[in-house]
């Protein structure tokens, strides 16, 4: 453990909210990214060679090649984000580097965005707005048969991943009259199931074939990579919609694009993509896809809360305690 008197060198890979950066400057020897340029793999290697702590985000690939070049002082990777699929946890553990994340504080914002997509796709919100704003169009006025979408109330929502965010989505969806179904590694506690009136499906395949809307809310791990594979996507009803605010890698994106364009799936609301920032162009051109640039947790309050969690994790670690949001590789 470094001397208590020496401020730890904390290298932050992206620009964070001002209030967080100010506090980091006070507490740590903070090296900040003023102009928010994404760091290259070479920059990241340089950072782990010099720092006591690295604070990466989802845009940084902290893989084996980076971690294995870490200097002797690097003791902590304090991720600014909940998902840790950007970090090679096994290599970090082998090098005795602690990894922390920021769970809990982005649950409600991400669930709001999920709900927004659950409403936006079947009710054709972005398609209708784009129509009105396009100067080539002249709206002829209301019509009883124009821009019809699908009713939300009474439909079946299948949530994949019933953790904090999945449950927060279920609470909202229930209030909109959706019937809640879910698939999870483990069945959730009985009182939670009762509160949400949720039906558990041990078989993801069976659930998929019966849902009207499917929402992906599980982390990306080796076990969930392409969980919605080409085979499973084909189980969906042609009238069904998919929403993903978790990680693009959980869905076979090429196959999803193909099935949407061939009208084998009714549409998708996507906040995340398999090869961010690249997006399959077939998804972008489809009227039946609502695409967002990974902004599920993009509220000012959420980003400040995430920054505070990062600070608490670093501070506790250097005060000699176990940081509250320590990530154990077995959890993922
Ligand atoms: C964050 C997220 O914006 O926390 C996560 O896992 O997906 C996002 O909401 C991002 O990860 C920040 O690094």
The string of pLDDT tens digits covering residues 76-126 is: 999 999 999 999 999 999 999 999 999 999 999 999 999 999 999 999 999
Does 226 lie in the same domain as 242? yes
Q: Which two tokens stand for residue 249?
A: 């890698």
Residues 101 and 145 in one domain: no
Mean pLDDT of 271-288: 97
Residue 68 belongs to some domain of the structure? yes
Task: Please tell me what DSSP assigns to residue 251.
Answer: B
The answer to whether position 158 is within a domain reads yes
* Ligand 1 centroid, distance to 219 Cα (angstroms): 11
Whether 4 maps to a domain, the answer reads no
The alpha-helical segments, DSSP class H, found in the chain are 18-27, 41-50, 64-67, 89-94, 107-120, 125-133, 164-175, 190-196, 204-208, 230-233, 253-261, 281-285, 300-318
Catalytic-residue membership of 210: no
Q: For residue 264, report the distance from its CA to the centre of ligand 1, in Å.
A: 31
Share of the chain above pLDDT 70, in %: 98
Q: Do 242 and 115 lie in a common domain?
A: yes
Query: In this structure, is residue 196 part of a structural domain?
Result: yes
Q: Is the CB of 292 under 6 A from ligand 1?
A: no
Structural tokens at position 62: 């902290």
Catalytic residue among 50, 193, 195, 276: 276
Question: Mean pLDDT over residues 257-263, rounded?
Answer: 98
Helices first, then strands: H and E counts in the chain: 13, 12
Cα 126 to ligand 1 centroid, rounded to whole Å: 24
Domain range for 313 is 9-105+299-328
Q: Which residue has the tokens 């950066």?
A: 21
Ligand 1, atom nearest to 303 Cα: 3
What are the angstrom distances between the C-alpha of 309 and each of 25, 79, 131, 302, 306? 16, 10, 42, 11, 5
Contact by Cβ (8 Å): 2, 22: no
125 and 241 co-located in one domain? yes
Scanning the structure block, which residue is given the tokens 């699929």?
Answer: 85
Q: What is the pLDDT of residue 234?
A: 98
Q: 223-250 pLDDT, tens per residue?
A: 999 999 999 999 999 999 999 999 999 9
* Residues 242 and 229 both lie in one domain: yes
Of the candidates 242, 274, 268, the residue with the CA atom closest to the CA atom of residue 160: 242
Cβ(273) – ligand 1 distance below 6 Å: no
Answer yes or no: is 217 within a domain: yes
User: Is residue 132 domain-resident?
Assistant: yes
**247 labelled catalytic:** yes
Count up the domains in the chain and report the number.
Answer: 2
Residue 29 forms part of a structural domain? yes
Q: Kindly state whether residues 272 and 157 are assigned to the same domain.
A: yes
Q: Could you tell me if 64 and 112 lie in one domain?
A: no
Q: What is the CATH number of the domain that holds 194?
A: 3.40.50.720
Domain co-membership, 190 together with 270: yes
Do 137 and 205 fall within a single domain? yes
Mark whether 226 is an active-site residue: no
> In this structure, what DSSP letter does residue 209 have?
T
Question: 117 with 155, same domain?
Answer: yes
Quote the mean pLDDT of the chain: 97
pLDDT of 289 reads 98
Catalytically annotated residue among 247, 253, 255, 303: 247
Per-residue confidence band for 4, with pLDDT thresholds at 50, 70 and 90: low
pLDDT digits (tens, 9 = 90+) for 126-185: 999 999 999 999 999 999 999 999 999 999 999 999 999 999 999 999 999 999 999 999
The predicted structure's pLDDT at residue 328 = 83
Q: Helix H segments across 135-243? A: 164-175, 190-196, 204-208, 230-233
Rounded to the nearest angstrom, the distance between the alpha carbon of 138 and the centre of ligand 1 is 40
pLDDT band at 302 (very low <50, low <70, confident <90, very high): very high
Indicate whether 3 belongs to any domain.
Answer: no
Is the domain of 31 the same as that of 101? yes
Residues 170 and 43 in one domain: no
Q: Using the predicted structure, report yes or no on whether residue 330 has a pLDDT greater than 80.
A: no
Q: Which atom of ligand 1 is nearest to the CA of 79?
A: 13
């Amino acid at each position: 453990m470094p001397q208590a008197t020496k401020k730890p060198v904390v290298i932050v890979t992206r620009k964070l909210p001002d209030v967080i950066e100010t506090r980091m400057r006070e507490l740590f020897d903070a090296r900040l990214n003023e102009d928010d340029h994404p760091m290259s793999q070479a920059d990241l290697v340089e950072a782990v060679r010099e720092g006591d702590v690295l604070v990466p985000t989802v845009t940084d690939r902290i893989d084996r090649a980076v971690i294995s070049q870490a200097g002797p002082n690097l003791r902590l990777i304090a991720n600014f984000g909940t998902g840790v699929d950007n970090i090679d946890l096994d290599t970090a553990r082998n090098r005795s580097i602690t990894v922390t994340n920021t769970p809990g504080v982005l649950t409600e914002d991400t669930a709001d965005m999920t709900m927004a997509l659950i409403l936006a796709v079947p009710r054709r919100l972005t398609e209708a707005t784009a129509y009105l704003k396009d100067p080539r169009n002249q709206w002829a006025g209301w019509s009883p048969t124009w821009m019809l979408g699908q009713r939300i109330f009474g439909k079946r929502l299948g949530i994949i991943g019933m953790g904090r965010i999945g449950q927060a989505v279920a609470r909202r969806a229930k209030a909109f009259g959706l019937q809640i179904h879910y698939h999870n590694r483990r069945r959730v506690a009985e009182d939670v199931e009762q509160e949400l009136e949720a039906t558990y499906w041990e078989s993801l395949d069976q659930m998929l074939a019966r849902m009207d809307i499917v929402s992906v809310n599980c982390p990306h791990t080796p076990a969930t990579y392409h969980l919605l594979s080409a085979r499973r996507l084909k189980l969906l009803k042609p009238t069904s919609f998919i929403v993903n605010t978790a990680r693009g890698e959980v869905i076979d994106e090429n196959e999803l694009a193909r099935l949407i364009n061939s009208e084998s799936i009714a549409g998708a609301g996507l906040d995340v993509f398999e090869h961010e920032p690249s997006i399959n162009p077939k998804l972008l051109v489809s009227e039946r896809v609502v695409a967002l640039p990974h902004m599920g947790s993009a509220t000012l309050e959420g980003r400040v809360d995430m920054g505070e969690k990062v600070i608490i994790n670093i501070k506790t670690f250097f005060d000699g305690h176990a940081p509250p949001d320590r990530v154990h590789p077995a959890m993922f």
